[in-house]
Amino acid sequence: MVSVTSKKAIGRRQSVIVAVIGNFVEWYDWGLYGFLFPYFASSFFPGGESAARLSSLAVLAISFFMRPLGGAILGSYGDRHGRKAGLMLTILIMAGASLVIAVAPTYATVGLLAPALLIGARLVQGIATGGEYGASTAYLSEQSQARTRAFTASFQQVSVGIGGLAASLTVTVLASAIARDAMEQWGWRIGYAIGAVLGIIGFVVRYRASEPEAFIRLQKTATVSVKPFREMLTTQRKAALLLAGVSIGSFVTYYMWLTYLPAYTNLTTGLPLEQATGATSISLLVFICLLPLIARLSDRVGRRTTMLVYSIGTFVLILPLLLLLRVGTFWAMLTVALVGVILQAFASGTLTALYAELFPSRVRSVGVGFAYALTGALFGGTTPLIMEFFGSRGVFAFAPIYIMVLTAISTVVYIRMPETKGKDLE
C-alpha cells in the first residue's frame, strides 16, 4: 500500500517532469534565433552581410525588451488564474510565433514586410518568454520541498539548457546535411517548423500538470491577488531590486557562453561556424549535467556561497579565456566554452530557487517574471549586440572589461544579500 507521503512524492515528480517537458519546448523555440540568425539575416535585411547581422542582433536585443511586458501581463495572469494556466498560455503564444517565422517571406519577395513579420514574431516570442520564466520558476519552486528546493528548481534551467542544446544540435545537423547556400535560402526554416510542432505537443503536456499546493492555499483562503503587478510594485520593490542585483553579471555571461559564443568566435577568429556551434553543443551538454549537482550543493552550503564562486571565478578568468579564444582553433574554443559553462552552472543552478525565495506566493509569478525580464532586457539581450560591436571593430579588450565590471557589481550584492536557503514559501 502506497502511503500519502509517497503519493505526494510521486505526484511532485510527475508535475516536475511535465513542467520540464513544456519548458524545454519553449526554450528550444526561443534559442533558435541566436543560432540561426547568421543564416537568415541577409534574407530579411538589406545592406550587406555585416549590416544584416547587426540588424538581426538588434531584433534579438529588442525582443528582450518585450519580455518585461510578458512578465507583467502573463505573470499577473499566472498569479490570478494559476501557474498551470500561465504555463499553457505562454507555450501556445511561442508556438504561434515560431510558425510565423518558419513561413515568413523574404525581403526580396515582399520588401519591408519581411523584416516587419520577423520583428513582430520575435517580439511576440519575447512576450512569451517573459511570462514563461516567472510561471515556471514559481511552479517548480512551489512543487519542491525546502531542503531540496534548489535541486528541484534547477530542472527549470536544465530544461532551458536542453532546449538550447536541442536548438544548437538542430542547427548543427542542418548545417552539416544542407549546403550553405541552401541553408541560407530555406534550410533554416526547418528548425522553426519543428519548434512550432513541438509547441503544440508541449501545450498538451502542460494541460496534464497539477496546480502547486501554495497556489491552491491562496484559492482556498480567498487570498489570490486581484492586481498582482500593482501589488508587486508597491510591496516588493526591494525584492525586485535584489533580483536585478544578483542577476546582472550572470545574464551577460549566460548569453555569451551559451548563445552568442559561436557567432563571436566566427567573427573574431574566422573559425567555421559549424565547428563553433559544435563546440557550443558539447559545452551545453556539460552545463546541463552540472546544474543539478551545483543546485544540490547550494541546498547544502547556501545560495551566497555558490553565487560567489561564479562571480569571483568569472571576474578572474574572463580575460585569459577570451585571449585563448583568439587562438582560433576548435579545441581552443571548446576549452573556453567548457570553463565558461562550469562557472555559469554555479549561478544558473542557484538562481531559480533564489528568485522564488525573494517573493511571496501572491505575486511570485509576476515578481520573478517582470524583474527577471527587465534585468535580462537591459543586460542579457544587449550582450550579443555589444559583443558584435566590439568584435566587428577590433576593440577586443572592451569585451572582458564589460563582463568584469558587471560581475564585480554582482559580487558586492552576493556578499551583502541575506541567505534564503530553506526559507518557507508562504
Looking at residue 18, its pLDDT comes to: 74
Judge contact between 62 and 119, C-beta under 8 A: yes
CA separation for the pair 79, 67 (Å, rounded): 17
What is the mean pLDDT for each group of 10 consecutive residues in the chain (426 residues)?
51 73 83 83 77 75 84 94 91 93 90 89 90 89 88 89 84 89 90 92 85 87 91 94 93 84 82 85 90 96 96 94 89 94 96 93 94 86 74 71 90 93 80
HSE-up of residue 73 (Cα within 13 Å, Cβ side): 14
**Residue 208 identity (one-letter amino acid):** R
Report DSSP state, residue 47: S
Query: CA-CA distances (angstroms) from residue 131 to 3, 253, 364, 422?
Result: 36, 22, 12, 26
Judge contact between 232 and 366, C-beta under 8 A: yes
Give 270-308 as a DSSP string: ---HHHHHHHHHHHHHHHHHHHHHHHHHHHHH-HHHHHH
393 CB burial (10 A radius; 0-12, 13-18, 19+): exposed
Judge contact between 280 and 404, C-beta under 8 A: no
Pseudo-torsion of CA 296, 302, 304, 308, nearest 10°?
-50
Judge contact between 294 and 350, C-beta under 8 A: yes
Pseudo-torsion of CA 356, 360, 362, 368, nearest 10°?
-30
Judge contact between 336 and 355, C-beta under 8 A: no
Judge contact between 129 and 236, C-beta under 8 A: no
Judge contact between 190 and 173, C-beta under 8 A: no
Looking at residue 5, its pLDDT comes to: 52
pTM, two decimal places? 0.82
The domain at 15-416 falls in which architecture?
Up-down Bundle (1.20)
Looking at residue 1, its pLDDT comes to: 46
Give 188-248 as a DSSP string: HHHHHHHHHHHHHHHHHHHHTPPPPHHHHHHHHTT---SSHHHHHHHH-HHHHHHHHHHHH
